[in-house]
Amino acid sequence: MTRNLLTIAVAASLLASCGTQKENDKVNIQKQTVQLESDQMTPEALWAMSRIAGYQASPDGKHIIFQMGYYSVEENRSHQVLWMMNADGTEQKQLTTEADNETDAQWLDNETIAFLRGGEIWKMSLDGSARKQLSETEGKVEGFLFSPDRKKAIILKSIPFNEIIQKNPEDLPKATGRVITDLMYRHWDHYVESIQHPFVLNLASGEEFDILEGMPFECPMEPFGGIEQLAWSTDSKKIAYTCRMKMGLEYSISTDSDIYLYDLEAEEGTVDKNRNLCKEGVDLPKSDPTKTMSTQAINAIGKETGNDYNVGYDINPKFSPDGRYVAWLSMERDGYESDRNRLCIYDLKENTKTYVTESFDSSVDDFCWAPDSYTLYYIGVWHATENLYRTNLKGEVTQLTNDWADFGSLQMLNGKHILAERHSFTAPADLYTVTPGDSIADTKVTQITQVNQEILDQLGKPSVEQYWVKTTDGKEMLTWIILPPHFDKNKKYPTLLFCEGGPQSPVSQFWSYRWNFFIMASQGYVVVAPNRRGLPGFGQEWLEEISGDWTGQCMKDYLSAIDFAADSLSYVDKDRMGAVGASFGGFSVYYLAGHHDKRFKCFIAHDGAFNLEAMYTETEENWFSNWEYDDAYWNGDQTERAKRTYENSPHRFVDNWDTPILCIHGEKDYRINATQGMSAFNAARMRGIEAELLIFPDENHWVLKPQNGILWQRTYFAWLDKWLKPDKSEE
């Protein structure tokens, strides 16, 4: 593989040294200054890019505080810093000057910013001066949210959790064994020996209390939940929070979380103190908080009374500006983690629920209230892009943008504009303001940051095309084609089929620091990225055709896409094609390895499922395998869907494998265990097939450490170049 070198011979050294200095024996990693020798994107250039994290507009809408992450390959870590700018993007200034991470910024008032540093809440003025520590928790604050009256704050802290992993005897302090009594003893990438709880901190007195005192339930919910799962009422008297009041086996098989309303002024033990807004009217157990009613029982009550009790995944409450309504994201069915996210509105005055995005046949991914408490703005995926929409309390939906891009989280700015992050296949995240109009044509989108422009200006930019490909069952499938910089239609290019994960995640205009189409195209590859069966943004029917049929129509869709490219696009070299993917995409690669009929010359599978029988009991979130596989492999009276699933597991077709394969896996991946990748690699080598295994003992389902990320990219492209560029003619 050919890599562009930076002007200093050792790229990693340059990336780490630019903008870094020693302060109090800590490395103060700052924005990277990069000079490339050519316009080809490299792994080093990708990891030199700055990354926007959180952002928030001031109450008066005049300023924006935002968080940036700078990465050092040499130090193998990042530095999180805070920046300030005017609402129009002018006068950008970095406020962080020291080596400590400063994160989670939010406004106390128009002149004062609060933030996290060293596990404590601090405040500072607009110019970064007058810093003062506000909390004293021995560095235990993991997230926070001020009440509107600025007298209190929710703070997130971890507490010990020994309900499932038993605490070892005190006379064995060096024992490393764990006695486990139930499921969900580990989640995502760690053993569950602590959980987060929300505490209310009185800023004047420093006193705090746990709103889930004595309850063995987490809030926010693992593995990715944060402060967005809680919200203050406008009068600062109530807190809406997200919780799944289950543990052990019950937790592992259910996605049924709820939105609770905690009243700070109600008496302890009263119904109004801790209302479940999702199951209002259900007589839930009150005497023992560890006892919960089964989903089946709640469903039965709902059928008898004709009520909707929200037994699916409910998250991220937000109060309307006037305080009358609480909105949240709501899934309908228990156990289905990829169900459609509906925007639910609870009327606290009338005690009623309505859904206001029913005409949008896809999921809502984020939303915000307009000042009128009647209008809401949201983002959702449709036809492989994540655009902005408007709805209201009547459920009247209007699309406002139609870009080949993805908008990220959004919030109101100044009451008139929307502040949002936006990215695409060819552009990393930047901040934008959106001025909503009556329609797409009337809506104005303005970029206000260009955090990586100095790197992007040095790079040749890939181009993106869109095709609708006919599938084997006569339907149309949107397929992205990403072309290399300086594309020449008269040349033949090696080509990659990209297999999406999920299995129900969109191939929308994402930007990734690993599965990055910009760098793939820059290395001389055409990328074919189909929105195969099972992906959102094409209606619920298209989305759900994959459940229980992982190896059916969706695999035919993959082959339809690559066959279209090989037969219809003259620049695709059908003799130099590979297939790559992660998670369900890795599973897809393992399956295609036994069913591709000589189409591909090499494969790469990252964190993919290989043996579905093993996967059924290995994964920690058992609701996933229960829903997708339909039944346990040991049941003698399996459904036809379950039989089909297990009979078509990739490991059963290794005898058909005939093509080189690279298997990649993280040993801290508890969603799809590393034994899956090891088994696939071992099977390939035992079959005499050329194979490599890239194993990361310290990574989870993703690769997060800078040096591991560079190793991942180098190994990935070295493998592709070996099999798809044997004569190195593209270098």
- 669 is known as an active-site residue: yes
- Rounded CA-CA distance 347/423 in Å is 35
DSSP 62-100: SEEEEEEEEEETTTTEEEEEEEEEETTS-S-EE---SSS
Whether the link from the prior residue into 198 is cis, omega within 30° of 0, is no
Kindly report the number of other CB atoms within 10 A of residue 255's CB atom: 25
CB within 8 Å of 531: residues ≥ 6 apart: 384, 477, 478, 479, 480, 500, 506, 507, 537, 538
Residue 677: half-sphere exposure toward Cβ, Cα within 13 Å: 32
Choosing from 583, 588, 625, 649, the catalytic residue is 583
* Selection from 346, 376, 339, 354 nearest residue 259 by Cα: 346
SS3 157: strand
* Selection from 317, 396, 322 nearest residue 355 by Cα: 396
- Rounded CA-CA distance 332/188 in Å is 24
SS3 366: strand
Residue 306 near residue 319 (C-beta atoms within 8 A): no
Residue 526 near residue 481 (C-beta atoms within 8 A): yes
Phi, psi of 274 (to 5 degrees): -150, 75
- Rounded CA-CA distance 573/622 in Å is 42
SS3 657: coil
Phi, psi of 376 (to 5 degrees): -130, 145
SS3 312: coil
Pair type for strands 572-582 and 602-606: parallel
- Rounded CA-CA distance 208/336 in Å is 36
- Report angle CA 11, 13, 17 to the nearest 5 degrees: 120
Could you give the maximum distance between any two Cα atoms of the chain, in Å?
77
Token pair recorded at residue 567:
């037969």
SS3 622: helix
Phi, psi of 202 (to 5 degrees): -85, 115
Tokens 């290395």 sit on residue: 523
Which value, to the nearest 10 degrees, does the dihedral of the CA atoms of residues 331, 336, 339, 341 take?
30
**Environment class of residue 595 by beta-carbon count within 10 Å: exposed (0-12), middle (13-18) or buried (19+)?**
middle
SS3 121: strand
- 417 is known as an active-site residue: no
Residue 222 near residue 705 (C-beta atoms within 8 A): no
Choosing from 63, 187, 651, 701, the catalytic residue is 701
Provide the sign of the torsion angle of the four alpha carbons 305, 307, 313, 318, taken in this order: negative
Choosing from 607, 669, 679, 721, the catalytic residue is 669
Q: What residue spans of 239-336 are helical by DSSP H? A: 248-252, 295-305
Buried-state track 95-116, b at ≥16 Cβ within 10 A, e below 16: bbeebbbbbbbbbbeeeebbbb
Catalytic residues: 583, 669, 701
